[in-house]
Structure 1
Amino acid sequence: MKARIAAAALTLLCFIPQARTQDSNLYWMKIRANDKFQRSVVADTGVSIEAVREDFVTATGTLEEKEALEKLGWVEVSFTIGAEMMAFPGQDAAYHDYPELTQKVQDLQKTYPQILKVTSIGKTNENRDIWALRISGNLAQADNLPAVIYMGGHHAREHLSVELPLFYAEYFLSEYTKGNPRIVNLLNGRDVHIIPAVNPDGLEYDISGGRYKLWRKNRARNSDGTFGVDLNRNYGYQWGTGGSSSNPGSDTFKGPKPFSEPETQAIKAYVEAHQNISTLLSFHTFSELVLYPWGHKYNGIDNNRDFQVHKVMAEKMSEWNGYQPMQSSALYQASGDTTDWSYGEHGIVSFTFELDPTNSGWGGSDGFYPGAGVIPAVQQKNLEPVLYLLQYADNPYRVLEFNINPIP
């Protein structure tokens, strides 16, 4: 092994230019490095290693340094660092930043092309793609199958909400391929849509400079020079009727008009292009709640059958994840949110999960940033609710006839 590493180091030295090119950009890189020997080879190129993990490091370096490592085939992800570095603080490196998320969905597409289609459903203000993953055991006929949409990352500081839909995408794909009978049975008769990060610009800005900012909104430049619209106040149904702000500097700024933002426009167009969607789940943090419409008013859904299907499903899902089920406005009133729009405008049975933890200390920082250690447990405790929604996507109202456990 040491001999191979030494040979790699010698080869690498041949690739390092003696003079710098005109490219003065700095690059962020995720570099495969399995042990201290490979890490030393990486360090010898002149890059600055920022974080060390079991089988990779993250580093910053010049174009020449990046190209030298690319000659060895060790660079897994790289991108130019602008005025601000986009990276999670080292202790939270298990979370996916946007380049890592992009690489992940592209890798999944390459691995599972028969049952996965990845598309960009739109561009953000800063020209990032909003990725959607469509999964089915019968992609050719997916438009004719019952569909569920799962999404996360509306709010920038809610990074845990991105990790769950991304995890479930990989879970569906891998378990189907392994022949898990429950997943095979579900996916052969379902059309699954997953949008892990609705707000990529905000998610990246919140971690820029290697520190958290408690940022919530997107990165639109407002007319008064401030930045950001609260995307979960920008949907059109009952927009601006309470629980949102007309002040551009506010965290809950609703935007200048409904669907003013490219991100909400993309979600609107995508949902409306897939008329088979019967059920929607939007992941947020934090408080450990299962929420359902309405958010814009305190009165419940007038149609009793619709009210009951939301209530029964929310209560059933809470048995698995331990969250408290309630109408959204019982938490606080908010208009222009995703689920009021998806149910109110399109009749889609819709839920919001406010993920762990239950509460937080001063300022909410440990609630929005609970650490990387919580990710696996939160993913597992919400798996059954996710599968439950998928099971009943053919007709959610079946839960009113009998309340059975998911298919074994």
Structure 2
Amino acid sequence: MLLLQHLSFLLKMGILSLVLLLPLVPALDFSYHHTEELEAFLKAVQKDHSNIAHLYSIGKSVQGRDLWVLALGRFPTQHRIGIPEFNYVANMHGDEAVGRELLLHLIEFLVTSDQHDPVITKLLDSTRIHILPSMNPDGFESVINASCEPLFGRFNANNKDLNRNFPDAFILNTHDIQPETEAIMNWLKNESFVLSANLHGGSLVASYPFDNGNSVTVNFLDESRTVDNDVFMHLARTYSEKHATMHKGNACNSVEYFPDGITNGYQWYMLQGGMQDYSYVWGQCFDITLEVSCCKFPQKDELPFFWNDNKNALIEYIKQVHLGVKGRVLDENDEPVPGVIVEAVGRRHICPYRTNKNGEYYLLLLPGTYALNATAPGSSSLLQELHIPDGRAKFSALTYDFVVPHLQTRPEPASCPTEPLYSSDYDKNQSATLKPAITSLVLVNIFYAVLR
């Protein structure tokens, strides 16, 4: 009887109707969630938000744990033409656990904010967001006690560092490819990712490619720069500026200082076989590394502070997927043409960026005027000058379609050998930033090589 009276009171106040309209969401506390808890949370999100959430596994770890990914968006189960693909990856090093929890809370925030927060609603309308909270669940489960420098957990169950395990564009990486690494490589191959970031711990900085380099890419500042250095610096700054403290450049110790809270990966320390270089070169995906905590595995009562520090930055970074230009390459019968090289003049990638099976291309570019070149075998190149606005406000990059007339030969599927691609005879005129290397930070590089 008392319960009925209470419900009657809520109805009169209009509160019960509001409660019933709120989406269901599993309670997520601020603690470290082990594999079973992580899986239960992700499965509950998919069940309660099946209209925007799709859970899938990209493979298994050495010990057989699923590498779960939750895709969020209006069309979560499959790619839609014109909708860019984005991903976040965390916990590549199992003992760097803050990113793992940040991504779980990001999932909760996104699904509960849909249809309530206009920014999040538009973001889900216009973007397919893939979130992999743990790339190294075996390493995470091997951590014994939470501490800033855990004795175990960095490596996978085969004692391999996953962020040294990818093919490298500069040297022959002889490490055996691990199951977790292979899963990421296949994932990048099967999805048309445009932008991503991987979350680490042990410092507080946004690091951008290249992590490795040679005389082709390293300049007199000891930076190993890509032809898209302006975009990468913008991406790193975007995260750093929206972070509560990262932009201040205050390092975790007196040795490090990062102006604006960003760094070129190679300038910080050289890293071979890293994921962000692989994603950019072979995955056609702009990827940066986010070091989000000085302490790798802090006490759980500190996690709310990390979430508050990173929440806005995590959202703002996703929006950057709508920079630049996107479109399709079609033949004269409006049929898609896959495998066509589409790149901005002066930004020729060592492994050319090509259209996907739908004939789509996505190029991240800052606002400005560019000449785009579409090249298909058996047809002359198409050159188009475009003024590219800032698409973030409208949650859409500029759209421009190329039509290839009289196509004689269909391009071969996009392919690029997974072996070192940069050599001394590579076209050094690709960018004015490419200058002879003056490497002066070798000792610092070695000292910090175990951080990430």
Asked if structure 2 preserves the Cα contact closer than 8 Å seen for 1:138 and 1:189, the reply is: no
Asked if structure 1 preserves the Cα contact closer than 8 Å seen for 2:320 and 2:392, the reply is: no
Q: Which of 125, 136, 161 matches 1:199? A: 136
Asked if structure 2 preserves the Cα contact closer than 8 Å seen for 1:392 and 1:398, the reply is: no
Closer, same or farther in 2 for the Cα pair 1:281/1:386, shift >3 Å?
same
Residue 193 of structure 1: SS of its match in structure 2?
strand
Q: 1:267-292 CA distances to partner (integer Å, 9 max, x unpaired)?
A: 111121101x1101000002111000
Closer, same or farther in 2 for the Cα pair 1:93/1:381, shift >3 Å?
closer
What is the 5 A alignment of 1:166-245?
A: 166-176=104-114, 178-207=115-144, 213-220=151-158, 228-238=159-169
Q: 1:32-61 CA distances to partner (integer Å, 9 max, x unpaired)?
A: xxxxxxxxxxxxxxxxxxxxxxxxxxxxxx
For the pair 1:296 / 2:234, whether they are aligned, the reply is no
Asked if structure 2 preserves the Cα contact closer than 8 Å seen for 1:290 and 1:351, the reply is: yes
**Paired amino acid for 1:347:** Q
RMSD: 2.9
Closer, same or farther in 2 for the Cα pair 1:310/1:281, shift >3 Å?
same
Q: 1:46-101 CA distances to partner (integer Å, 9 max, x unpaired)?
A: xxxxxxxxxxxxxxxxxxxxxxxxxxxxxx9xxxxxxxxxxxxxxx9811111111
For the pair 1:372 / 2:314, whether they are aligned, the reply is no
Q: How many equivalent residue pairs? A: 285
What is the 5 A alignment of 1:21-40?
A: none
For the pair 1:314 / 2:314, whether they are aligned, the reply is no
Closer, same or farther in 2 for the Cα pair 1:152/1:239, shift >3 Å?
farther
Asked if structure 1 preserves the Cα contact closer than 8 Å seen for 2:200 and 2:292, the reply is: yes
For the pair 1:111 / 2:65, whether they are aligned, the reply is no
Residue 135 of structure 2: SS of its match in structure 1?
coil
Closer, same or farther in 2 for the Cα pair 1:171/1:201, shift >3 Å?
same
Residue 203 of structure 2: SS of its match in structure 1?
coil
What is the 5 A alignment of 1:79-118?
A: 94-118=31-55
**Paired amino acid for 1:234:** N
Asked if structure 1 preserves the Cα contact closer than 8 Å seen for 2:155 and 2:161, the reply is: yes
Closer, same or farther in 2 for the Cα pair 1:395/1:297, shift >3 Å?
same
State the partner residue of 2:197: 281
Q: Distance in 2 between matches of 1:139 and 1:160?
A: 26
**Paired amino acid for 2:284:** G
Gaps of 5+ in 2: 1-25, 247-260, 325-363, 369-388, 396-452
Which has the larger helix fraction? 1
Closer, same or farther in 2 for the Cα pair 1:291/1:104, shift >3 Å?
same
Q: Distance in 2 between matches of 1:309 and 1:209?
A: 36
State the partner residue of 1:256: 175
Higher relative contact order (CA 8 A, sep 6+): 2
Q: 1:278-309 CA distances to partner (integer Å, 9 max, x unpaired)?
A: 101000002111000011127245554x1100
Asked if structure 1 preserves the Cα contact closer than 8 Å seen for 2:95 and 2:153, the reply is: yes
Gaps of 5+ in 1: 1-75, 77-91, 221-227, 242-253, 358-366
Closer, same or farther in 2 for the Cα pair 1:201/1:303, shift >3 Å?
closer
**Paired amino acid for 1:151:** V
Q: Which of 157, 167, 187 matches 1:270? A: 187
Q: Distance in 2 between matches of 1:209 and 1:334?
A: 26
Question: TM-score under structure 2 normalisation?
Answer: 0.58
State the partner residue of 1:128: 65
Closer, same or farther in 2 for the Cα pair 1:209/1:192, shift >3 Å?
closer
Alpha-carbon offset, residue 317 of structure 1: 2.1
For the pair 1:337 / 2:278, whether they are aligned, the reply is no
Alpha-carbon offset, residue 107 of structure 1: 1.2
